[in-house]
Every structure is written in structure tokens, then in C-alpha cells.
Amino acid sequence: MLGIDPARLEVAAVVLGALVLGLVFRARRLHLLELLLAVTIVLGGAYYFVYERPLVQDLKQGLDLRGGTRLVLEAVPTEEAPVTEERLEASVGVIRERVDRLGVAEPVIYRVPNKDRIVVELAAVSREEALQIVKIAYLTFKDAEGNVIITGDDLVKAQEQLTPAGEAYIHLELSAEAKRRFAEATTRVYTGQSASRQIFIFLDEDLVQAPVVQAPNIEDPIIQGYESLREARRIATILNIGAIPVNLQVTEVREISASLGQESLERSKTAALIGVAAVVLFMFVFYRGAGMIANFALIIYGLLVIGALVLLDAVLTLPGVAGLVLGVGIAVDANVIIYERIKDHLRSGRTLRAAVESGFRSAMRTVVDSNVTTLIASAVLFHFGTGPVRGFAVTLGVSILASMVTAVVFSQYILRLVISSRLVRKASVLFGEREANLSATR
Amino acid sequence: MPPDKKKKRSRERLRREPASRAGAGPSPDASSAAAPAGPGAPAPVASEPKKGRVQARKGKSVDPADTTRLVFGLFRVGRIDFIGRRRLYAVVSGLLLIVSVLSLALQGLNYGIDFTGGNSFNLMFSRPVQEAEVRAVLSEAGVASAVVRVDRDDPSEVLLRTPYLESEAEEAMLATLEVRLGEFTVLETDVVSPSISGELLRAALLAILLACAGILVYVALRFEYRFGASGILALVHDTVVTLGVFSLLRLEVNSAFVAAILTIIGYSINDTIVVFDRLRENLKRRGKETLEALANRSVNETLVRSINTSVTAFLAITAIYLFGGTTTRDFALALMVGIIVGTYSSICVATPVWLAWRKRDERARGALQSRALTVRR
């Protein structure tokens, strides 16, 4: 990721240059230039992450937004297949192997912590296909006529090994009773009583391999002729865990057609756009100049939230989108609290600059206290939620943090610059109330 | 900036004496910001008589710096007597709670299959269908207690919810539907076995309880226990009312609804904390003001913020409700109800409860003091 990419270097150079320029402006007290620079950086960043290297594309979408199937499987212990940690791990491995063979994009397969449960989420896979994948598979060794010689139950273990000469092979450890059957079969196949001298190894209907029998009466077989130990290990793994080693019962199936997912995605986009536009409009109408600063800070907020979600590898679900949009509505809250404080202080007769300073300071504690309580709720939700609820908790938590950061750090910075650059001198322009209202007690 | 800071602190001490500040503008920048207001001729005329009238009616002046003001030229905020109407709010909240609890007790919640187990289908037929005919076909297929909902906007889209069906039974039902009502595409199916569903409900309840406990502890640490408990009471109020609305309207309660409830809890406490924070601050500088007046002033001072935040959050979620599609509609509705109730409860439930509690405690202390004989040392 950190390879020397010229495009990346270019970006780094631009960012560095802007920072240096900013420091120079700051030292020289060229507030207006500093403000212009800050605005340019934010707009440039937004352009970069929307058009040049769209962040949204890196965001994983949940099944409800792109269609697919979600399965929840519960391992139920039986006589032959007790549920153990290794067997569950192995089961996840088998399912992953099968999914990979199908070529599903971005499959999500995980175990539910502290539960004998496996969740499989496959995009653009129908319910039938998904159920097929998690079906218990049978490993069988057959002759050319289709007679079953041994099954997966007879195979104690398949182990890849190296000869002293460095040739890879697989040793098949068979149960005592299976050894006899295997010896008989190899004799039969070797002596030409079968149509072919091969033994066919199947996983359900899929042929895994068809090695040629080299001698009669083999009790303790090996399969040789692999190019590398790695290849031998791959085949040994399939032989070992080809069958899902636990009895899995399907406890939850959810299928969302691709068309519904597409529709949900489109609708979410529209709804999000309208929701954000409404908030932006409200903030402008109510707070004028300062409202526009809050709206401007929303750009940073959006980039932060989406960036954090990408980094956290979070999956965007339908309730998650609702959470994000609600997050925008709540994100301006910190700004509202701060602006109301500033207005209070203006009303009590302070100068614009003094009111902004003291307003920010006294609003700070309120902002932190009120947001920490909401964070507690989202942390609990994350810890105890499952699936889409969990996704929602992540988006809620991330958006609270991001809104605090943007309101407290960024809006404050811009607002100070606007005032110290003398771009705006009237409190009424910034806070949208008639001057009369702001200085009523004077 | 640093020299400015010192001046500001000294001015803070002068806060209560508006007249002395007129000439105290520390920098030319500051006076230029204040100057455009002019001699303030229109301002006092516009707001003074109003203020005078309100004060005369209430009979007590609280803080000269606090003034009423018009919001959008529509609402006048600043001196609304919330605390004086606390009996009215008690009645309103009481009624809301009684209706909610009655509905919850009598008809309960309409649990989705997440919590009961079962199958749900979202089917798109090639023609508009009617609820009755779908129901008839289902009972023919041997599926008796199914929930059928035909989409309002597109009557060819149907939502079905049945008790838990094994895959053969499910196939049989779908086959019958196809024979009787024509072809359809399956937009969405959801099967939850009853074995897992009870656990989901328990986990959801546990999550809500733990969230409340966490919030209570935090608020108790940062404020005082009375604030914590009053805030929790307000959010219980909000949760019960939202549950009541869902019970009354027979809307589906599923995992997403749990997420909505938790968001409401977060929102409600957030809203309450902002009011309490102002109360805490005003308490520190409490003069001869009665507790009622102080509480009322605090609510009024934070009122614009309460309204604005609710409005922006409400606007955002309304967009999801209106344009976000069927899947998130109920989810958005829960949040809309929660935002309204949450804002109401911060002002009209949490604050009066805190006030009553604090007054009782103060009275108890006062009663003791009035018959105390202090030992001289």
C-alpha cells in the first residue's frame, strides 16, 4: 500500500506544500489568505475523495443493498460428529473453500463468538445455491464402475509429506477395517478386473483426483506425483476436511434479490441526498454565516465518517444508511449548542470575538457530556447486536465521534479565521439574528 | 489572541452590569462589531414592552440579560412558563403512558420473525393482488395464521409472514401461490428457526438494560444521582411511548427496531443532558432565585437548541421515511416518534421530576434545620 506511486507522491507534495503555506500565513497573520487556503484544501480534498479516488467505492455494502443470501448455521452435536473448536474451525475452512471455488465476490464467513454458530453472507448468490454450499459433502473413493471403496468416514487422516529425495506425497491413514477393503480393491483394480486402473476420489459429485494404482494389495496407501508440498497439502486438506465435520443446521436464511438490493440502494441515495439538503438548508436559514460554516464542516464530517468506515472494514447496511443520515442531522447539534452559547454571550453584551471564544469554551463540556452518553448506547449496541444492528452501531458511533471532532475543532477554527480576517464584522451576518436582538440589553 | 483572553476574563466578572460595559470595548475590532447596532433605538422599543409585560405578569424578574426573542418571526421564546405547567405535562405523560401500557398489555407487540421464528416473503406478482385472495390461497395451502400485507404504492407487491415452515412446506405453499395467483418473483425471503429467535429477543432486552445502566452511571458520576435518575426516567418514558405507538399501530418489531430504540435512548438522554448541563451551571450561580424559576430559566435558555437539533434530526429521518423505501419505513417512523417524544420529555418530564425530587430533599433538610440547636464549640 505504501509503494512509491507517483500519483500518491503528487498528493503528498500538494498536502505538504499547503501545510507550509498555511504556517507561513499563520505566522504573518494573513488571516484572509489562511481562510482561503483552508477552504481550498477542504474543497480539494472533497473533490479528490469523490471524483479522483472515490471513498464510497471502498465501502462494503451489505446484502440488503446489493442482494444475496445470508445463512446462519448452528452446529448440532451428534454421535459421530461432536462439536469441537477444531471441527468448527475446519467447517468454516471447508465452506470458505467451496465458496472460493464458486468465485463469489467478497464472501463474509465468520463464527459467532462464544456460540457454535457460523454466519455465511454471499452477495449475488441465490438461496438454493447458498444452501447447496453448506450442505454436508461426502468424500468417496470409487472404482471405474462406481463401486464405493471407502468413504470419508474411513479416512482417519490425510497427511502431506516429503520423501528424502524431496518429492511430495500424501499418506492416507485408514481405519483398520477400511485397510482390508482398500487392499482388496487395489488388487482388483491393479489386476485389470476394472475398466481403469485409476481410483476416483469424489467430493459429492466433484472429482477431486484420480490417481493410478501402481501395485496390488495396498493396505497403507500413499498418493505421489505432486509438484510441490504445497499442492500436496492443498489436496490433503480437501481430503481431510472435504466433508464439513460437524452437523450444521440452518437456523436463519435471508435472501434479498439483486433487484430489491439495487432499488434499496437507489432509494437510500435519494433519501440521503434530500435529508442532507434539508439539514443544510435549515442551518443556513437559521444561522446564516455560521450555519454555512457548520455546513462546510459537514464535508469534513462526511469524509471522516466514510473514511473511518472504510478503515474499520465496516459493512454499510440499510439501517446503517439511515443511521448516517440521522447522524448528519445530529452532527450539526454540536454546532447548534456552540452557536446558541455564542449568541447568549453576544446578547449579554460581549464583542463578537470574545463571545465566540467564551461560547466555545463553555459549550465544550455540554457537547462532550451529551455525546458520551450517546456513545455509551452505541457501544452497548455494538457489543450485543448482530448483523445489520451491529453495522448500525458502528455507523452511529463513528458519526458521533466525527461530528464532535468537526464541530469542536474544525468549525471553531474556521469561525475564528472568518472573524480575525475581518471578512465578517457583524454578528448578525454570522448568526442570522437581527442586530437588535443580539444587543437588546445594551 | 492571548492578550485578548485576559481582558475577556475580567469582562466576565462584569457580566451582570450591562451599563458599565458600554465603554469597555477592549479593541477597535470589538467596538466595530458592536457599533453597527447603533444607539439601539429600534431594539429596545421592539423588545422592551413585551418583556415588561411578561415580567409584570409573572411578578418576578430573573435575569436582565435574558430576553425574549422571536424565532423565524413566528415563535417568541425566552419566557415560556414550562415549570408552571408541570401538572399539565404530568397529565399528558400519564395519559401517553397509560395508553401505551394498556396497548402493550392488551394486544402486545407485533413481533417480527426475528423474535418469534418463522418465514417471511416479499413477493412481486405480475399483477395487482388483493389481501383477501392471498389469504384464501394460503389457507388452501394449509398455512393458517399468516400475516399478509399488500403494498400501498404497488399492489402487486406482497409481504407475507408465516409461522416457521420447513423447506418442503414452504415450497408447497409457494407452488400453490403460483398456481392460483400467477407467477411472481421473490424479492426477499427470511427464515428464522424458533430455536434462535428467543435468544435474539433476550439479547435485545439485555442490550437496552445495559445501555441504561451505563448512561445512569456516567450521568451520576458527572452530575448528581438525581439528574441521572430523572434522565433515565425520561428515557424509560420515551421507550414506553415508542413501544406503545408500535403496539397501537401494529407495526413490526424486529432487530432494526431494537436499533431504533437504542438510538432513541441515546438521543433522549443526549437531549436531556443539555438541559441538565445548563441547570447544573445555573445552580452554581444561584442567587435568591427559587428553584422553579431557575429550572424554568434553564429550560428556556436551552430551548432554541432543543428545537433546532430536533428539527434537523427530524428533517433527516423524515427524508428516510418518505424516500427510503419500504424496508426502512418502520425503522424511520420509530426514530421520528422517538425524536418528538425525546425532546418533549427532556423539558416536560426530566426537568420537573428533577425539580420535585430536589425540592423534597431541600425541604427535608430545611425542616431539620428549623428545629436544630447548634452546638457551640
Residue B95, Cα to own-chain centre: how many angstroms?
17
Q: Which residues of A touch B309 (CB under 8 A)?
A: 329-330, 332-333, 336-337
Distance CA A83, CA A397 (A): 36
Contact call for A257 and B309, based on CB within 8 A? no
Mode of pairing for the β-strands spanning A168-174 and A222-226: antiparallel
pLDDT at B240: 94
Which of B199, B263, B317, B322 is the best substitution to test chain A (most A C-beta atoms within 10 A)?
A: B263
Nearest alpha carbon to residue B82 among B359, B362, B343:
B343
**CB distance A122 to A68 below 8 Å:** yes
Per-residue CA distances from B283 to A350, B203, B218, B252 (Å): 23, 40, 20, 44
| pLDDT (0 to 100) of residue A434 | 58
Which grid cell sits at A408?
Answer: 469542536
Q: Which residues of chain A have pLDDT under 70?
A: 1-4, 80, 101, 136, 241-243, 385-389, 391, 432-442
- 3-state SS, residue B39: coil
* Mean per-residue pLDDT of chain A: 83
A124: left (phi over 0), alpha (psi -120 to 50) or beta: left
| CA separation for the pair B100, A194 (Å, rounded) | 78
Give me the domains of chain B, ranges plus CATH numbers. Answer: 48-79 (no CATH), 118-192 (3.30.70.3400), 196-361 (1.20.1640.10)
Residue in chain B closest to A267 (alpha carbons) equals: B324
Q: Note the pLDDT of residue A225.
A: 87
CB contact under 8 A, A352 and B266: no
Written as one letter, the residue type at A423 is L
pLDDT at B77: 61
Query: For an interface test with B, which of A373, A404, A428 has the most B Cβ atoms less than 10 Å from its Cβ?
Result: A373
Q: Which residues contact A63 (CB under 8 A, 6 or more apart)?
A: A69, A70, A121, A123, A254, A256, A261
Distances (CA, A) of B45 to B42, B51, B75: 5, 10, 18
Distance from CA of B71 to the nearest CA of A (A): 9
Which among B11, B256, B323 has CB closest to A354? Answer: B11
Alpha helices in A77-223 (DSSP H): 85-102, 127-133, 176-190
A442 touches B47 (CB < 8 A): no
Write the residue in A253, A373, A386 that is nearest to B269 by C-beta: A373
* Amino acid type, A5: D
Provide the mean pLDDT of chain B. Answer: 78
Closest CA to A408 of A373, A372, A367, A374: A367
Whether the CB-CB separation of A38 and A413 falls below 8 Å is answered with yes
B266 touches chain A (CB under 8 A): yes
The reply to whether B200 touches chain A by the CB within 8 Å rule is: yes
Residues B325, B243 contacting (CB under 8 angstroms): no
Q: Does B325 touch chain A (CB under 8 A)?
A: yes
> Do the chains contact at A358 and B8, CB–CB below 8 Å?
yes
State whether the Cα torsion B96-B101-B107-B113 is positive or negative: positive
Q: Which three cell numbers, joined as nine digits, stand for A276? A: 442532507
Q: Out of B31, B185, B317, whose CB is closest to A326? A: B317
Put simply, the answer to whether B255 touches A380 (Cβ < 8 Å) is: no
* The CATH number of the domain covering residues in A139-241: 3.30.1360.200
| Contact list, B335 vs chain A (CB under 8 Å) | 322, 326
All residues of chain A having their beta carbon less than 8 Å from the beta carbon of residue B207 are 380-381, 383-385
| Domain topology for A54-63+257-438 | Multidrug efflux transporter AcrB transmembrane fold (1.20.1640)
- Residue-wise pLDDT for A118-129, tens only, equals 989 888 888 888
From chain A, the residues in CB contact with B270 under 8 A are 330, 333, 370-371, 373-374
User: B259 and A257: CB-CB below 8 Å?
Assistant: no
CB B264 within 8 A of CB B243: no
Answer yes or no: do B188 and A260 touch at CB < 8 A: yes
* Chain B residues close to A380, C-beta within 8 Å: 207, 210-211, 214, 262
Q: How far is CA B215 from CA A252, A331, A419, B354, in A?
A: 33, 20, 38, 16
Query: Considering only CA atoms, which of B273, B253, B271 is closest in space to residue B341?
Result: B271
Burial of A439 (0-12, 13-18, 19+ CB in 10 A): buried
B216 close contact with A: CB closer than 8 A: no
Closest partner residue to B273 (CB to CB) among A252, A344, A373 is: A373
- CB within 8 Å: A435 and B36: yes
* CB pairs < 8 Å spanning A and B: 305
Q: Is the backbone of residue A103 left (phi > 0), alpha (psi -120 to 50) or beta?
A: left
Q: Which of residues 114-143 of B touch A (CB under 8 A)?
A: 122
Helix (H, G, I), strand (E, B) or coil at A222: strand
Residues B14/B20/B23/B26 CA torsion (nearest 10 deg) = -10
Cell 440579560, residue located: B65
Residues 272-291, chain B: which have Cβ within 8 Å of A? Answer: 273-274, 277-278, 281
Contact status, residue A338 vs residue A410, Cβ threshold 8 Å: no
Check whether domain A68-136+247-254 has CATH 3.40.190.10, yes or no: no
How far is C-alpha A30 from the chain's CA centre?
43
> Angle at which helices B167-181 and B131-140 pack, to 10 degrees?
130
Residue A353 C-beta-side C-alpha neighbours within 13 Å: 24
Nearest residue to A348 via CA among A335, A334, A362? A362
Q: Based on C-alpha coordinates, what's the Rg of chain B?
A: 29
* B74 contacts chain A (CB < 8 A): no
Q: Record the cell numbers describing residue A173, joined without a space.
A: 491413514
- Residue A326 to residue B313, Cβ atoms within 8 A: yes
Contact call for residues B141 and B172 (beta carbons, < 8 A):
yes
Residue B23: what pLDDT?
A: 39
φ/ψ (deg, to 5) at B64: -65, -25
Model ipTM value:
0.72
Q: Which amino acid is at A89?
A: E
> Of chain B residues 219-238, which have a CB less than 8 A from chain A?
219, 222
> Do B262 and A72 make contact, defined as CB atoms within 8 angstroms?
no
Residue A353, number of CB atoms within 10 A of its CB: 19
pLDDT of residue A130: 86
How many of the other CB atoms lie within 10 Å of CB of B219? 26
Give the minimum alpha-carbon distance from A210 to chain B in angstroms, rounded to a whole number.
36
Predicted confidence at residue B97, as pLDDT, reads 96
Predicted TM-score of the model (pTM): 0.74
The ranges assigned to domains in chain A are 1-53, 54-63+257-438, 68-136+247-254, 139-241
| Residue among A337, A352, A380 minimizing CB distance to B274 | A337
Compute the distance between CA of residue A369 and CA of residue B281 in angstroms, rounded to an integer.
Answer: 13
Instruction: Say yes or no for a CB contact (<8 Å) between A377 and B215.
Output: yes
Q: How far is B256 from chain A (nearest CA, A)?
A: 6
pLDDT under 70: residue ranges of chain B: 1-78, 374, 376-377
* Nearest Cα residue in chain B from A339: B305
Q: How far apart are CA A120 and CA A131, in angstroms?
A: 10
A418 Cα to chain B: minimum distance (Å): 13
Q: Is B297 on the interface with A (CB under 8 A)?
A: no
On whether any CB of chain A is under 8 Å from the CB of B42, the answer is yes
- Gap from B372 CA to chain A (nearest CA, Å): 39
Considering only CB atoms, A267 lies closest to which of B186, B318, B323, namely B323
